[in-house]
Amino acid sequence: MARKRWQDIAIERLKWWGRLFKRIGIALAALLVILGIVYVIWNYKASRALEREIEKVKQSGAPLFLSDLSNEIYARVTNLQPYGRLSVPPSENAAYYYQAAFNILQTVNRDRWQDEKAEGKLLDEILKAPHPNQWSEEDVARLKQLLEKTATALELAEQAAEMNDCLFEIRYQDGYGIVLAHLLPLRRLQRLLLAQALLDVREGNSEDAARACQTALKMSGATKRERHLIGLLVRFALLSKALQTTRVVVNAFSVPSEVAWEMMKYVKQEEADLQDHARRAIEGERVLGFSHFSDVLEGSSQFDIRAIIGKAPPFWGVIKSWVGRPLVRDDAVMYLKHMERVVNNASISLPGVAREAEAIEDELVKLVDSLLNRMRYPLTCLLTPALARSYTIVAETVARCRVAEVGLALEIYRAREGDYPESLEALVPEFFESVPEDPFTGEPLQYQRTDQGVVVYSVGRNLQDEGGAEPPPEDLKGWQPKDDITWRIER
């Protein structure tokens, strides 16, 4: 009896466990069905939201895919051969002349890397000196030798600068792996031109100095058709350095009025295109970033986020699998919305664009600082650079252009009237429709007459009026001045 009773108890326990596992199985099956339904709904909504964002970009006429950028560079020959010749004919493309100049620069030095390092050090010393008369005789001798060896390259640069179009071959289809081999030689070529202009100042060759400055100014437009942030920043740097040397030339000589007019006209053209170039460059950055979302959604085996940012986000293996597709689509929607706001900032007039850029930057910082957002939008947090900051650099470069325009107009006015005007209103309407505004404040540029001449200035990004003060040349680093942005003329 006892044995039978224990057998019955064991059987009951087994039945109980069986019913429990059955209920657990049913619950798990129901849970999987519910999760499957949730996944399908989530994936459907994410897909529709992403389609709407993609359609919005397409309707704006902006590029969104790598093929869109490539089609701007290459002329489509046939459907079977989508990439062929450049869309600009060689006879009209300044890039071919620049490339020929780059090739000459490469053959100048026997030991390329050591000689280029010595050349860079020499040019650094030359260009940061307050005035060419402060150069050492040893540096002057070395500079003359260098310019003699690179004279043919500089002549090619002068021919290229006179052409209306410049389009370097850039394989945008390579995504973030694009090679921009022309940017460093372009900067090197301009530095040689600026050194030539300053040497002409030292030797009293006013016409040659002005011509070299004109060429250096026009070289800043060599990257204006490029849709990437690096090309935009290089353009800012080239233009800023050319304007800095032009001011030295204007202070050293009485530049002929027709030359000053031509310089002022070109600087105005550059200024007018800077903000639009920022928009085009950021549109290109949006394409490069979105290509990675496309790679993940398409399951591309070539996509390696570690090669781009050095690390992978948490649960990256799950995110890039089919399970994480809805998350990636939501992430792509957030990315496109953020980039749309950055792109649209280009349509805001200065100085509002700088303030809006700071607001966008603050929002991006908050997004990245949140652990929940880093989990919801991993690629957006990792791939979105601080693009909004480029608009602040736009404002600074525009300020440099405007003070230069006014400075050149003042030189033309002085050559004709014998003295500088009491106020900038005297330049209206002959030179400007109205007194140029400070891009940081929206107020007219500051103008002061000094014992030595005049100074025109913008208050700069700190919005503090330091009375036209500026750091010494050795403290200037690129396009980030510590004080006001000035154009000072001393006679």
192 and 291 together in one domain = no
Residue 419 CA to residue 75 CA, distance in Å, equals 54
- pLDDT tens sequence across 55-114: 999 999 899 998 888 887 775 433 434 444 667 788 889 999 999 999 998 887 655 545
Whether 442 maps to a domain, the answer reads no
177 and 200 together in one domain = yes
| 242 pLDDT above the threshold of 60 | yes
Residue 239 CA to residue 459 CA, distance in Å, equals 19
52 and 99 together in one domain = no
Residue 312 binned pLDDT confidence (cut-offs 50, 70, 90)? low
* Among 36-40, 88-92, 307-311, 338-342, the least confident range: 307-311
Whether 491 maps to a domain, the answer reads no
Task: Provide the pLDDT for residue 472.
Answer: 58
Task: Provide the pLDDT for residue 216.
Answer: 95
Whether 460 maps to a domain, the answer reads no
| 379 pLDDT above the threshold of 80 | yes
* Among 83-97, 213-227, 398-412, the least confident range: 83-97
Q: Is the peptide bond before 385 cis (omega within 30 degrees of 0)?
A: no
Tokens standing for residue 164: 């209306």
Mean pLDDT, residues 289-314 taken together: 70
Residue 423 binned pLDDT confidence (cut-offs 50, 70, 90)? very high
- Pick from 172-181, 409-418, 465-474 the range whose average pLDDT is largest: 409-418
141 and 235 together in one domain = yes
| 293 close to 332: Cβ distance less than 8 angstroms | yes
Task: Provide the pLDDT for residue 431.
Answer: 94
Mean pLDDT, residues 141-155 taken together: 93
| 261 pLDDT above the threshold of 90 | yes
- pLDDT tens sequence across 248-258: 999 988 888 99
Nearest one of 272, 173, 172 to 224, comparing CA atoms: 272
Residue 246 CA to residue 238 CA, distance in Å, equals 12
119 and 225 together in one domain = yes
Under 8 Å CB-to-CB from 228, ≥6 apart: which residues?
Answer: 170, 178, 180, 281, 284, 285, 288
Residue 408 binned pLDDT confidence (cut-offs 50, 70, 90)? very high
203 and 293 together in one domain = no
Task: Provide the pLDDT for residue 78.
Answer: 39
Where among 59, 76, 103 does a domain terminate? 59
Tokens standing for residue 215: 């060429």
- pLDDT tens sequence across 462-491: 888 888 877 655 444 444 445 789 999 887
386 and 359 together in one domain = yes
123 and 6 together in one domain = no
| 378 pLDDT above the threshold of 80 | yes
Share of the chain above pLDDT 90, in %: 46
Whether 478 maps to a domain, the answer reads no
Sheet holding 453-458, edge to edge: 446-449, 453-458, 485-490
- pLDDT tens sequence across 426-441: 999 999 999 999 999 9
- Domain residues for the domain of 291 are 282-390
Residue 315 binned pLDDT confidence (cut-offs 50, 70, 90)? low
Whether 452 maps to a domain, the answer reads no
Nearest one of 222, 191, 199, 100 to 153, comparing CA atoms: 100
Task: Provide the pLDDT for residue 298.
Answer: 82
User: In which element (H, E) is residue 367 found?
Assistant: helix 352-369
The mean predicted confidence, pLDDT, of the chain is: 85
Whether 429 maps to a domain, the answer reads no
- Provide the domain count of the chain: 3
327 and 188 together in one domain = no
| 9 pLDDT above the threshold of 80 | no
Distances (CA, A) of 157 to 8, 405, 488: 100, 24, 29
| Residues written for the chain | 491
If DSSP codes are grouped into helix, strand and coil, which group holds residue 17? Answer: helix
Where among 59, 75, 93 does a domain terminate? 59
216 and 293 together in one domain = no
The predicted model scores a pTM of: 0.86
Mean pLDDT, residues 277-302 taken together: 85
Whether 147 maps to a domain, the answer reads yes
| 127 pLDDT above the threshold of 60 | yes
Residue 395 CA to residue 225 CA, distance in Å, equals 20
78 and 50 together in one domain = no
Whether 9 maps to a domain, the answer reads yes
Mean pLDDT, residues 193-202 taken together: 94
Residue 374: Cβ within 10 Å count: 16
Where among 390, 410, 431 does a domain terminate? 390
Task: Provide the pLDDT for residue 85.
Answer: 63
Q: Does residue 315 or residue 173 have the better pLDDT? A: 173
106 and 25 together in one domain = no
Report DSSP state, residue 276.
Answer: H
